[in-house]
Structure 1
């Protein structure tokens, strides 16, 4: 699959976020309790397994799971199992970049010329901010016809694949989601710090926040407690054909700083809480992350997804209980999301990304109902 879809298809599920409203719900029966809802996703819709972690003010509110983490082994899903979190990786990378801004090693509005060994078109005009918020115009390497998601790549090779194509637009003149932006950011971190982006995420975020079930792999292997990821011949529902194991079908190096990380609901919950709670850098920089990017809402509305925008590595969505901030991921065999409104957070993971748009809407609507449920 194409890595630009690591976020975009999951955002399609947020049609349910934007379209749901209390007025619509008034004529409907009360929603089921969450365990019943996720059991329906498994039994009625064919999702192999699902895990949901909810917290209030940093305290666990609910952890639940349904279905199977490994179909042939008949291994039940558990809330603490690991998943490939795809483009939630981008939020980790953006956080490291903003920490470097705090340390005066980078500035948001500096051009990236001189920060990379690889040639990048318009490097004199593209800024760090424009990479973070997808306004650089750089072509998405995963759209290159020769891109093989199962192959092994270096970051330089992925960048070269992207810059072989003309930019979508001049820097700062439009919005276009592109994983190339985050591969470039990972290389900038490497050049500035002398350490690979994986090492910086480890030392700055994973270790200090005690994210013991989170990894940033460079080689494609399944983690010890990782749910197997599955794809199907046709989008669910109904389930048709065999469940094809895609756990390692997309290589870690092909995903890189755009989508390679593995984590759990509890860990991404803790990370997002620390980030939005001001533990990782100043409130001023959090406000920069949360500021909607001009053109992002129109981009998503044009894709049939009103009510969605994008900041600096953060998704922004309208919900019935307020504006949600968080991150979403979609990669071969896995769908992930983590969102926060106020001090309530919900992380929802599934071990498939073979979903019809209606099922994506249903799934994220379920997450929003849980997010907006009274504590």
Structure 2
């Protein structure tokens, strides 16, 4: 695979507790020549939805909210068209809300006032009634992050830091802007640095988390070993709640559930401007696979070919 020669990023493959592949290569920032290292933090993009799902499940376990709660209970001035949408619908992408392409007026790189962002989401009517279909929706996960904030009275990034990352020992992970942070990879496209999307508001809950490769490997122990959550919550997170339309594939809470390289897997990819990411756990063989790269041209799903040989 090309990531081991001239590209940028981290690739980890583990079977059980044994790390089979541990590769770090390329520049974290082409403009300065700073290299990628094991301490480099990358945007994990849509894999961040798993952290939002876990935050909601933790609050459900504590009785702060219920997955059957209508989202309008937790949001300021919601539109009437959202009245039938529950947190479960948002978690499974069955709410009927659109993805970014249904919201062309939203600039993913520009900071937006939170309530103005919700108003922009509300300007686009749902694509179908709640539960009547499946349509991947990052805005739906932004609403989940706002729900966490409203239910706890705490900033979402703070909740993740204290209630999710710290208990797991994910010391290199954080949510929100990378400005001023050390060991942060700069996104690249066409060999040149590109500006980051706004992660503090626009992508909050949907694509806002930064991780090291080792931290993301640890994260996969949430479904693998039942860390952080009660068994019932882990089972709900990895259950095939909603068929996606691909053969044998469904969506759980923040995870795709279905075949990967011909094997049963829970997985997710991520794609932010200048970054790609992939993380998967294959329960039958107990493989964990993590790819983080700050190079837009890499196909993160192609990395699954490494599973065929357990080597690179």
TM-score normalised to structure 1 length: 0.75
Over residues 159-200 of structure 1, what are the superposed CA-to-partner deviations in whole Å (9 max), with x where a residue is unaligned?
211110111101110111111111111111111111122111
Q: Which residue of 1 aligns with 2:254?
A: 313
Q: 1:140 to 1:39 in 2, by over 3 A?
A: closer
Change (3 A) 1:87 1:165: same
Tell me the residue number matched to 1:11: none
* Worse-matched range after superposition: 58-67 or 278-287: 58-67
**Gaps spanning 5+ residues in structure 2: where?**
none
C-alpha deviations, 1:288-322, integer Å up to 9, x for none?
222223341x1xx3xxxx55432111122313462
Normalized per residue, the structure richer in helix is: 1
> Are 1:108 and 2:73 matched, yes or no?
no
| Aligned counterpart, 1:50 | 9
What secondary structure sits across from 2:168 in the alignment? coil
Q: Tell me if structure 1 keeps the 8 A contact 2:260–2:304.
A: no
- Change in Cα spacing, 1:289 to 1:92, as seen in structure 2 (3 Å) is same
Whole-angstrom CA distance in 1 between matches of 2:307 and 2:186: 25
Cα contact 1:315–1:328 (8 A) shared by 2? no
Of the structure 1 ranges 160-169 and 136-145, higher mean CA displacement relative to structure 2 is found in 136-145
Report the equivalent of 1:3: none
Any residues of structure 2 matched to 1:287-302 within 5 Å, and which? 287-296=235-244, 298=245, 301=246
Q: After the TM superposition, which residues 1-375 of structure 1 pair with which residues of structure 2 at under 5 Å, given as runs?
A: 38-40=3-5, 42=6, 48-140=7-99, 143-217=102-176, 219=177, 221=179, 223-232=181-190, 243-246=191-194, 248-252=195-199, 253-296=201-244, 298=245, 301=246, 306-320=247-261, 322-342=263-283, 343-355=286-298, 360=299, 363-370=300-307, 373=310
Q: What is the Cα-based RMSD across aligned positions, in Å?
A: 2.3
Q: Which runs of at least 4 in structure 1 moved beyond 6 Å after TM superposition?
A: none
Distance 1:169 1:95 in 2: 26
Counterpart of 1:24?
A: none
Rg bigger for which structure? 1
**Corresponding residue pairs, total:** 308
Note the residue ranges of structure 1 that are not aligned, 5 or more in a row.
Answer: 1-35, 43-47, 233-242
Distance 2:253 2:186 in 1: 31
Query: 2:222 touches 2:234 (CA, 8 Å); kept in 1?
Result: no
* Partners of 1:104 and 1:71 in 2: CA distance: 47
Query: Does the C-alpha gap of structure 1 residues 278 and 115 become closer, same or farther in structure 2, counting only changes over 3 Å?
Result: same
Q: Which moved more, 1:285-294 or 1:343-352?
A: 285-294
Kindly tell me: are residues 372 and 88 of structure 1, through their superposed partners in 2, closer, same or farther at Cα, counting changes over 3 Å?
A: farther
Asked if the contact 1:111–1:127 (Cα under 8 Å) also holds between the matched residues in 2, the reply is yes
Q: 1:220 to 1:211 in 2, by over 3 A?
A: closer
Provide the secondary structure at the position in 1 that maps to 2:289. strand
What's the offset of the Cα at 1:112? 2.3
Q: Deviations over 1:16-47 (max 9, x none)?
A: xxxxxxxxxxxxxxxxxxxx65335x3xxxxx
Alignment partners' CA distance in 2, 1:268 and 1:311: 19
Question: How many Å separate the matches in 2 of 1:56 and 1:163?
Answer: 45
Deviation of 1:273 after TM superposition, in Å, equals: 0.9
